[in-house]
């Protein structure tokens, strides 16, 4: 291919630029991209075994 | 001649430019060439743009990849995983209900907690509970949000660093033992409690650490009431009041329908005597108050009276009554009569500016209803006023209305001011080894003269137990996280003979522990003593000794316990005996207050934040104040004339100065207040308390005082304008009452229709007298099956706003924040409109809940360009969120202005997406869509509940009945003002209300055919005042 070395250089430049861009956007204090990382994931939502619901027969 | 050439000149007849017109040689040359210059030049690739097609595509795909990566966790909803092993009793899609007890305030109402897939989503009243009977207040409803507050403390913090329970327990136990060895005091500061088991834990703590002293305080307490009662009747339990039996009520600065005592119970009982549809015999309600309270808005007669004059007022009334009644006079001893005789009602009227005629009517009412009336003084008034009120009720025989079957319990005596001062002195002198703030916040609550925060620095071991961060946590060495009440075991004994249990409806979400369990661990003195069940076992054992053994139950204890948990309530016949004699000896101690020279300031409890413990709750911050309709701030309410004198308007700052203490507050000009008077609410101005609470409002606790007869009523204050102003947001427009375009518009347009009881008795159809026939040009749709409708009784509604918060919880309504409320973008589906009539000095207040009227001829449905809003076969105006494109034409057309538009995705928008997190998402009702940006929403008559009832009826093979469905607002309303059902059902409640002669529709003349009927308010004034 013509300018094979040039193409690879351009590709690497684009890749590096994208990576820097992503990190920069993630660092922005913007609500959509940077929702507070508080409590992401599973919680300990467990029914207490000794609690008696209304629909149980006592 | 060339074609087109002008014959007279050489210029062309038609030309495209001036150059052409003037035959420019360049233009002529260009015309001769087919192509412009340069077109046929040779092609040179090196002169082209450097970006080749390949490069362009590479850049494009890289940008797309970068965008996709950046958006990678946007709207990530996670995975849905079915149960592998379904927990017993849990059916996905079906709610479970647990009986428990609310800890929002000290009233301990019985509640049923609705849970879905193991997580609590709604709190409602337990209809089996004899005190609140199935109702809760706004605080009870919104308290569920505190369970899912992302800023809850999750683990112990030692010296501002996260730590572990083992380390915290070890160090604290060691510190407590050290205090014992050094013979230093261990101060345990707590709120009052009605839990006998919690009291036992505290007693056991004192037994384990004998140097412990327990200090009990409340920011707003009933200490003055108890003192007045003790002076009158000795140390006997305080009974509740049978408001439903009172024909005449006089409240002295008592907000018994809004903020004091068990106002849920009071509202139910009071409103049962304002039920025009069921032909109740109306009571007559007088109030004498300085400010305009929620209770004052409902009164038939309002006297504007300074708190300093309340004692003289009650004595003057008593004098007027007994002077001409020998039978009543015999109840007084000579000292009492001499004191009372000095107070002339006529002179009092002249001194206070009250209408003597109305006072005479009040006296007549009391005389005609002796034994069936009640005078009730507010918690803030001095013990002397309470004693005088007790005397009044005793003389008139009104103690018939004291309910000795429902007597308040009191586990912990409030500490004296002297005790607290001694504590601080001991702390400063190094005599206190450890201080435990047992779910209390004294750094915020104590009066500034104690300088508690500074004293705390002199204590080696400072421990605060709390759910959320607060001022005391920030000032303490150890911060110990405790469970929310929905994660806790407990018991409650709010009235003698009534025991309710608290059970954890969810296991602790974080690594928190129950506060009683923490104390039990410290009592035992070993960190390994803790287990999740430690308090559970302790509670069961104490319950067995104190409750089970008192009953004659034939069941085993385990069965009894499980039944108690299931029902939520145990009632035992333990009514108190009424006291026999009134102690007149203390009458000599009564001293009328001296008049205030400067301003009088009253410090009030906020209706929704309490003492500040709910300031991090967005739903409660956003609920508009029932009187001023201001949200997200506190302020200084002052009378219109006083505002004029001070030269201030709405939002202007004033400085309130008491001795050396001062605070700047923005002003709300409030009709109906007395002159030279300021009403402020506490619970604001928080620090270190969470994203929602911090910086909201102003901290007025600086004005609290120990001196004087009441720590909340301050005399001789100076108030002056500062010249600055502040933006306060109110959900209602503020118009000058004398503005011609809006004066009484609610009466002219028939939005509020009112009358008097005597007018109604003479002419029951008076509301509809001026109605004219309405015509339509099309034949209306016929609803032959179920047709839903609602009725709201304006006689009963007190504007408590429980309906607003219940609707918020049920329908996933977002918090929008102060800025958006200021733009009128609050998202409440139901609002409480407040109208004034009369004069700014003596206004009459009318409240009206306003929600979507579900009009049969809905003006919103016709104008939607995408048919996102339409009508259901059962009469509901429906909203299809995913069709809506946000033109907002429907909101424009709605005459009631009940449609709410999502200008933002408010979960992302509010406080930097504070509520957009996996924890708070758990509070959402899964039956109700969570709306996004750009769609319109409004009240749906709880269509999710209608659909659930419909599925049940289909499953059961029966017809759906109107009474199968309760909307959230109807279910919560403590006054039972809302009725909902099927108008086509013969004999239904809603049919009765819809067809009642006092029923009317708002803006009926527009022929939109609304389906919400309002029952006109009747004021029970004397018939002599009828025009």
Smallest CA–CA distance from B86 into chain A, residue = A47
- Whole-number pLDDT of residue B16: 65
pLDDT class of B28 with cuts at 50, 70, 90: confident
Give the model's pLDDT for residue B6: 47
User: Residues B762-793: pLDDT tens digits?
Assistant: 999 999 887 878 888 888 889 999 999 999 99
Please report the pLDDT score of residue B35 as a whole number.
64
For chain B, percent of residues with pLDDT exceeding 70? 94
- Measured in degrees and rounded to the nearest 5, phi and psi for residue B738 equal -100, 15
What pLDDT sits at residue B734?
Answer: 45
A2 touches chain B (CB under 8 A): no
* Distance between A48 CA and the closest CA of chain B, angstroms: 5
Residue B733: what pLDDT?
66
- The answer to whether the Cα torsion of B838, B843, B849, B851 is positive or negative is positive
Cβ contact A18–B66 (<8 Å): yes
pLDDT at res. B765 = 93
pLDDT at residue B843 tops 70: yes
pLDDT at B740: 57
Q: What chain A residue is nearest to B487 in terms of C-alpha separation? A: A48
Q: Which residues of A touch B917 (CB under 8 A)?
A: 35-36, 38-40
Selected for mutation to probe chain B from A12, A53, A55, A57 (highest B CB count within 10 Å) is: A53
- Please name the member of A32, A43, A52 whose beta carbon is closest to the beta carbon of B919: A43
Separation in Å, CA of B914 to nearest CA in chain A: 7
Question: C-alpha dihedral over B827, B832, B835, B840, to 10 degrees?
Answer: -90
Q: Residue B29: what pLDDT?
A: 74
Query: What domains are there in chain B, each with its CATH number?
Result: 1-79 (no CATH), 239-407 (3.40.228.10), 593-730 (2.40.40.20), 745-772+784-1025 (3.30.70.20)
pLDDT grade, residue B1 (50/70/90)?
Answer: very low
Tens-digit pLDDT profile for residues B568-616: 999 998 877 788 789 998 888 887 776 667 999 999 999 999 999 999 9
pLDDT score of B737: 41
Q: How confident is the model at residue B17 (pLDDT cuts 50, 70, 90)?
A: low
The region of weakest confidence among A4-8, B943-947, B977-981 is: A4-8
Kindly give, in sequence order, each residue whose CB lies less than 8 Å from that of residue B746, ignoring residues fewer than 6 positions away: B752, B835, B837, B846
What pLDDT shows up at residue B797? 97
Query: What's residue B413's pLDDT?
Result: 87
- Which residue in B504, B557, B911 has the most chain A C-beta atoms within 10 A of its own C-beta, making it the best mutation to test that interface? B504
Q: Does the distance separating the beta carbons of A10 and B58 come in below 8 Å? A: yes
For residue range B901-953, list pLDDT tens digits in order: 999 999 888 888 889 888 999 999 999 999 999 999 999 999 999 999 999 99
Rounded distance, CA A44 to CA A42, Å? 7
Beta-carbon neighbour count of residue B354 at 10 Å? 19
The Cα-based distances of B914 to B471, B548, B617, B724 in angstroms read 21, 46, 11, 31
On the question of pLDDT at B742 being above 70, the answer is no
| pLDDT value at residue B2 | 44
Closest to A18 (Cβ–Cβ): which among B54, B65, B506?
Answer: B65
Cα-flanking dihedrals φ and ψ of residue B386, to 5°? -65, -40
- Reading the block at residue B398, the tokens are 């009104």
| Mean pLDDT along residues A12-23 | 87
- Pairing outcome for strands B185-190 and B212-216: parallel
- Asked if B503 and A10 come within 8 Å (Cβ–Cβ), the reply is no
This model of the complex carries an ipTM of 0.79
Is the alpha carbon torsion for B774, B776, B779, B785 positive or negative?
negative
Q: Which residues of A touch B97 (CB under 8 A)?
A: 53-55
Give residue B735's pLDDT.
Answer: 39
Please name which of B731, B756, B668, B697 lies closest in space to residue B1018, comparing C-alpha atoms. B756
pLDDT in tens, B301-324: 999 999 999 999 999 999 999 998
In this predicted structure, what is the pLDDT of residue B976? 97
Q: Closest Cα of chain B to A14: distance in Å? A: 7
Please report the pLDDT score of residue A28 as a whole number. 64
B738: pLDDT confidence band, cut at 50, 70 and 90?
A: very low
Chain B residues in contact with A45 by the CB 8 A cut-off are 117-119, 506-507, 509, 922
Which tokens in the block code for residue B584?
């007149």
Q: Are A47 and B118 a contacting pair at CB < 8 A?
A: yes
pLDDT above 80 (res B505): yes
**Do B45 and B51 contact (CB within 8 A), yes or no?**
no
Q: Residue B3: pLDDT above 70?
A: no
- The position carrying tokens 């009474």 is B963
Give the tens place of pLDDT for each residue, B270-283.
Answer: 999 999 999 889 99
Q: Give the model's confidence band at B39: pLDDT under 50 very low, under 70 low, under 90 confident, else very high.
A: low
B14 pLDDT band, cuts 50/70/90, is low
Which residues from chain A sit within 8 angstroms of residue B77, using beta carbons?
Answer: none
User: Out of A18-22, B14-18, B66-70, which region has the weakest mean confidence (pLDDT)?
Assistant: B14-18
Determine how many CB atoms are found less than 10 A away from the CB of residue B895.
Answer: 15
Q: Kindly state the average pLDDT of the residues B111-117.
A: 95
Q: Are B249 and B765 in contact (CB under 8 A)?
A: no
Question: Does the pLDDT of residue B444 top 80, yes or no?
Answer: yes
Q: Is the pLDDT of residue A18 over 90?
A: no
pLDDT (mean) for B129-142: 96
**pLDDT score of B92:** 86
Q: Which of A14, A43, A50 sits opposite B509 (nearest CB)?
A: A43
- Chain B closest CA to A13's CA: distance in Å? 10
> Nearest by CB to A54, which of B97, B504, B562?
B97
* DSSP category for residue A1: -
Give how far B109 is from chain A: nearest CA, Å: 17
More confident residue, B997 or B3: B997
The per-residue pLDDT of chain B, averaged, comes to: 91
In 3D space, the residue among B254, B227, B252 whose CA is nearest the CA of residue B238 turns out to be: B227
A11, A39, A55: residue with CB nearest B89: A55
CB B751, CB B1014: distance < 8 Å: no
Residue A51 to residue B59, Cβ atoms within 8 A: no
Interchain proximity B119–A18, CB inside 8 Å: no
CA separation, residue B525 to residues B102, B170, B187 (Å): 31, 9, 18
Residue A55 to residue B536, Cβ atoms within 8 A:
no
Q: B7: buried, middle or exposed (CB in 10 Å: 19+, 13-18, 0-12)? A: exposed
* Residues from chain B contacting residue A35 (CB–CB below 8 Å): 73, 908, 913, 916-917
Pairing of strands B788-793, B1012-1015: parallel
> CB distance B507–A43 less than 8 Å?
no
Chain B residues with CB-CB distance to A17 below 8 A: 62
The residue written with tokens 């089996």 in the block is B128
Residue B265 CA to residue B110 CA, distance in Å, equals: 12
- The shortest CB-CB distance from A38 to any of B150, B563, B565 is to B150
A30 and B CB contact within 8 Å: no
What is the reported pLDDT for B736?
40
The reply to whether residue A35 touches residue B916, judged by beta carbons under 8 angstroms, is yes
Task: List alpha helices for B864-957, DSSP H.
Answer: 889-893, 906-909, 943-956
């Amino acid at each position: 291919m013509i300018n094979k070395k040039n193409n690879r250089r351009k590709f690497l430049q684009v890749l590096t630029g994208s990576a820097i861009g992503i990190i920069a956007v993630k660092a922005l204090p913007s609500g959509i991209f940077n929702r507070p990382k508080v409590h992401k994931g599973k919680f300990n939502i467990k029914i207490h075994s000794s609690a008696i619901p209304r629909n149980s027969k006592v | 001649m060339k074609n087109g050439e002008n014959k007279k000149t050489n210029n062309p007849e038609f030309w495209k430019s001036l150059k052409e017109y003037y035959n420019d040689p360049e233009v002529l040359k260009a015309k001769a060439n087919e192509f412009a210059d340069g077109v046929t030049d040779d092609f040179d690739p090196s002169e082209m743009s450097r970006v080749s097609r390949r490069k362009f595509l590479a850049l494009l795909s890289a940008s797309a990849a970068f965008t996709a990566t950046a958006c990678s966790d946007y709207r990530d909803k996670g995975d849905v995983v079915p149960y592998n092993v379904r927990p017993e009793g849990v059916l996905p899609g079906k709610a479970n209900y647990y009986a428990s007890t609310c800890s929002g305030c000290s009233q301990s109402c019985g509640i049923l907690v609705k849970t879905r897939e193991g997580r609590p989503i709604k709190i409602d009243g337990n209809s089996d509970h004899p005190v609140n009977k199935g109702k809760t207040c706004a605080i009870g409803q919104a308290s569920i949000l505190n369970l899912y507050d992302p800023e809850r403390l999750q683990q112990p913090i030692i010296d501002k660093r996260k730590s572990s329970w083992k380390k915290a327990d070890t160090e604290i136990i060691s510190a407590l033992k050290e205090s014992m060895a050094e013979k230093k005091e261990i101060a345990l500061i707590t709120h009052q409690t009605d839990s006998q088991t919690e009291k036992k834990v505290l007693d056991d703590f004192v037994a384990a650490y004998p140097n412990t002293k327990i200090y009990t305080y409340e920011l707003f307490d009933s200490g003055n009431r108890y003192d007045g009662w003790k002076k009158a009747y000795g140390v006997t339990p305080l009974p509740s009041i049978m408001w439903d039996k009172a024909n005449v009520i006089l409240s002295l600065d008592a907000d018994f329908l809004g903020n004091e005592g068990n106002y849920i119970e009071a509202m139910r009982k009071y409103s049962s005597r304002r039920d025009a549809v069921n032909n109740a015999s109306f009571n007559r309600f007088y109030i004498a108050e300085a400010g305009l309270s929620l209770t004052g808005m409902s009164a038939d007669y309002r006297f504007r009276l300074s708190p300093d004059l309340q004692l003289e007022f009650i004595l003057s009334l008593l004098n007027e009554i007994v002077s001409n009644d020998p039978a009543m006079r015999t109840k007084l001893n000579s000292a009492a009569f001499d004191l009372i005789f000095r107070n002339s009602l006529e002179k009092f009227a002249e001194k206070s500016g009250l209408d003597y005629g109305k006072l005479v009517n009040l006296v007549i009412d009391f005389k005609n209803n002796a034994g069936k009336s009640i005078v009730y003084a507010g918690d803030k008034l001095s013990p002397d006023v309470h004693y005088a009120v007790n005397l009044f009720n005793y003389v008139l025989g009104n103690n018939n209305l004291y309910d000795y079957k429902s007597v308040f319990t009191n586990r912990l005596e409030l500490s004296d001011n002297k005790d607290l001062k001694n504590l601080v002195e001991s702390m400063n002198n190094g005599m206190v080894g450890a201080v435990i703030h047992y779910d209390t916040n004294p750094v915020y609550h104590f009066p500034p003269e104690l300088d508690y925060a500074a004293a705390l620095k002199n204590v080696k071991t400072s421990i605060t137990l709390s759910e959320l961060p607060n001022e005391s946590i920030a000032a303490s060495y150890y911060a110990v996280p405790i469970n929310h009440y929905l994660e806790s075991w407990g018991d409650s004994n709010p009235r003698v003979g009534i025991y309710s249990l608290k059970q954890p409806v969810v296991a602790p979400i974080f690594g928190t522990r129950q506060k009683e369990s923490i104390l039990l661990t410290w009592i035992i003195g070993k960190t390994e003593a803790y287990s999740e069940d430690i308090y559970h076992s302790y509670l069961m054992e104490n319950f067995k000794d104190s409750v089970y053994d008192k009953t004659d139950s034939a069941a085993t204890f385990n069965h009894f316990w499980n039944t108690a948990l299931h029902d939520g309530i145990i009632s035992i016949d333990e009514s108190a005996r009424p006291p026999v004699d009134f102690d007149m000896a203390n009458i000599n101690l009564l001293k009328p207050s001296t008049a205030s020279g400067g301003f009088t300031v009253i410090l009030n409890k906020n209706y929704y934040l309490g003492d500040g413990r709910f300031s991090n709750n967005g739903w409660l911050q956003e609920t508009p104040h029932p009187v001023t309709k201001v949200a997200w701030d506190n302020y200084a309410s002052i009378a219109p004339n006083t505002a004029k004198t001070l030269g201030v308007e709405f939002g202007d700052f004033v400085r309130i100065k008491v001795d050396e203490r001062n605070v700047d507050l923005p002003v709300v000009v409030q009709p109906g207040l007395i002159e030279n008077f300021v009403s402020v609410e506490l619970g604001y101005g928080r620090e270190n308390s969470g994203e929602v609470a911090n910086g909201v409002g102003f901290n007025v606790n600086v004005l609290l005082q120990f001196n004087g007869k009441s720590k909340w009523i301050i005399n001789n204050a100076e108030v002056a304008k500062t010249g600055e102003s502040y933006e306060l947001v109110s959900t209602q427009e503020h118009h000058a009452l004398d503005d011609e375009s809006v004066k009484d518009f609610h009466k002219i347009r028939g939005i509020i229709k009112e009358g008097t009881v005597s007018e109604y008795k003479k002419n029951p159809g008076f509301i509809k007298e001026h109605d004219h026939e309405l015509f339509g040009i099309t034949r209306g749709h016929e609803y032959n099956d179920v047709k839903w409708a609602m009725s709201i009784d304006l006689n009963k509604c007190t504007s408590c706003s429980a309906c607003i918060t219940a609707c918020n919880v049920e329908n996933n309504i977002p918090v929008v924040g102060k800025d958006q409320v200021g733009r009128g973008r609050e998202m409440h589906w139901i609002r409480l409109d407040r109208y004034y009539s009369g004069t700014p000095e003596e206004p009459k207040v009318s409240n009206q809940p306003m929600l979507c009227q579900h009009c049969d001829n809905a003006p919103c449905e016709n104008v939607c360009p995408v048919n996102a809003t339409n009508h259901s076969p059962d009469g509901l105006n429906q909203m299809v969120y995913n069709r809506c494109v946000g033109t907002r034409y429907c909101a424009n057309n709605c005459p009631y202005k009940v449609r709410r538009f999502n200008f933002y995705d408010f979960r992302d928008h509010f406080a930097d997406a504070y509520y957009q997190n996996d924890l708070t998402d758990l509070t959402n009702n899964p039956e109700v869509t969570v709306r996004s940006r750009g769609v319109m929403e409004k009240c749906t008559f709880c269509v999710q509940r209608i659909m659930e009832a419909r599925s049940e009826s289909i499953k059961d093979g029966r017809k759906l009945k109107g009474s199968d469905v309760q909307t959230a607002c109807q279910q919560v309303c403590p006054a039972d003002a809302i009725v909902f059902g099927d108008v086509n059902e013969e004999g239904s409640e809603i049919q009765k209300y819809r067809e009642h002669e006092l029923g009317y529709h708002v803006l009926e003349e527009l022929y939109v055919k609304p389906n919400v009927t309002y029952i006109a308010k009747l004021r029970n004034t004397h018939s002599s005042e009828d025009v």
